[in-house]
Amino acid sequence: GAGVSQSPSNKVTEKGKDVELRCDPISGHTALYWYRQSLGQGLEFLIYFQGNSAPDKSGLPSDRFSAERTGGSVSTLTIQRTQQEDSAVYLCASSSMSSGANVLTFGAGSRLTVL
Amino acid sequence: EDQVTQSPEALRLQEGESSSLNCSYTVSGLRGLFWYRQDPGKGPEFLFTLYSAGEEKEKERLKATLTKKESFLHITAPKPEDSATYLCAPFPAGGFKTIFGAGTRLFVKA
């Protein structure tokens, strides 16, 4: 596609429910990232994929968070048993690494609100 | 531990009033640094990549510079449409974990 697409753009859920956030990267981009941005804060790295594998999961906050990528394309970030502190904007980015610099192209984000 | 600090947290300027934003960092095996712009409700948008001390990049009213431990984003004669959050992001050699600073929120008043 022309850009990185994320869905849903907004999600309101109740504490304890599971949520899935989807990212559709730019076609041909091999690397895919998830970041979390809390209100007024910087971007917190969650996980990185190269193809379908995730060499770096170091940023996942707890075992309630998981992510997968299939077909080297679409990725899903799943948060189980959501807590209020999970409320944030979840940003997905992709890159091609073709230029040697890992320039990330971001989607507009999925805003998650946990009541 | 890798760290990135941006200052000031917020900056209010009058239209035409030039200023600079600072990004200082401690990153192991630094390869280069990105600057991004983020508008409310949107994802960050790429502005510049800098690789070596002394390097400068320009785009319209923005100029980014790099030293060994800091980067500056100079804004010359800003306009209200320059209002946004500006993020710096150092990245390591051979790695993929780009670290973002908390950003500087810039407000330019007409």
Q: How would you write the pLDDT of chain A (115 residues) with one tens digit per residue?
A: 579 999 999 999 999 999 999 999 999 898 999 999 998 788 999 999 988 888 888 899 999 999 999 988 999 999 999 999 999 999 999 998 665 567 899 999 999 999 9
CB count, 10 Å around CB of A10? 11
Q: Which of A108, A64, A55 is nearest to A86 (CA)?
A: A64
Pairing of strands A75-79, A65-69: antiparallel
Q: Which residue of A has its CA nearest to B91?
A: A102
φ/ψ of residue A86, rounded to 5: -80, -10
Query: Which of A33, A35, A38, A43 should we substitute to test contact with B (largest number of B Cβ atoms within 10 Å)?
Result: A43
